[in-house]
Amino acid sequence: MWIELITELFPEAEFAPPADRAALDDLEQALGQRLPVGLRELLAEADGVLGDLNLDVVWSAERILADNQAFRTSEDFAELYAPFDGLLFFGDNGGGDQFAFLTDAHGEGVFVWEHETDTRRKVADDLADYLRRILTADGDDWYTDGSGH
């Protein structure tokens, strides 16, 4: 389902082999939270999705774990930014901005964290909406010009 949607939106997308169920269970256990259903389903089809210019549209399960742990435990980040405990990062724009779900409200949409301003705001209604927006956009305007939510 997810691969078909992504391929329809961006035929040049590249997909990693699927993550196995045990790896996804381990990811959830290590993070201490469940993945949003759609993200878990996507990772079970493709453990990572690359878009135009090798944009990390959806990270691998391994990177989701590593980056979220780093964001949540970095002393440097703690001094510079508001806490990241409420975010589950899963993709980025290739220039420092990160895309995330809220950890306690998986049905609330996709949010962007803009690294230069520490701004966090909703940019898509759900994973499918995020994929439609990021894979059909020309650059970052889809979330930086106020056309997001």
Dist. CA 36–CA 101, nearest whole Å: 8
Taken in order 11, 16, 20, 23, is the CA torsion positive or negative?
negative
In a domain, 149, yes or no: no
Q: For 111-145, write each residue's pLDDT tens digit.
A: 999 999 999 999 999 999 999 999 998 878 888 86
Report DSSP state, residue 50: E
Contact 104, 69 (CB under 8 A): no
Q: For 40-94, write each residue's pLDDT tens digit.
A: 999 999 999 988 766 789 999 999 999 999 999 999 999 999 999 889 999 998 8
User: Number of folded domains in the chain?
Assistant: 1
Dist. CA 33–CA 15, nearest whole Å: 25
Q: For 73-82, write each residue's pLDDT tens digit.
A: 999 999 999 9
- Domain residues for the domain of 35 are 2-140
What the block records as the tokens of 125 is 């209604």
Which residues is 15 bridged to in the sheet?
49
pLDDT value of residue 26:
95
pTM (2 d.p.): 0.91
Which CATH number covers residue 93?
Answer: 3.40.1580.10
Taken in order 109, 135, 53, 7, is the CA torsion positive or negative?
positive
Average pLDDT for 19-38: 94
In a domain, 148, yes or no: no
In a domain, 146, yes or no: no
Q: For 90-117, write each residue's pLDDT tens digit.
A: 999 888 999 999 987 656 899 999 999 9
What's the gap between Cα 82 and its chain centre? Answer: 19
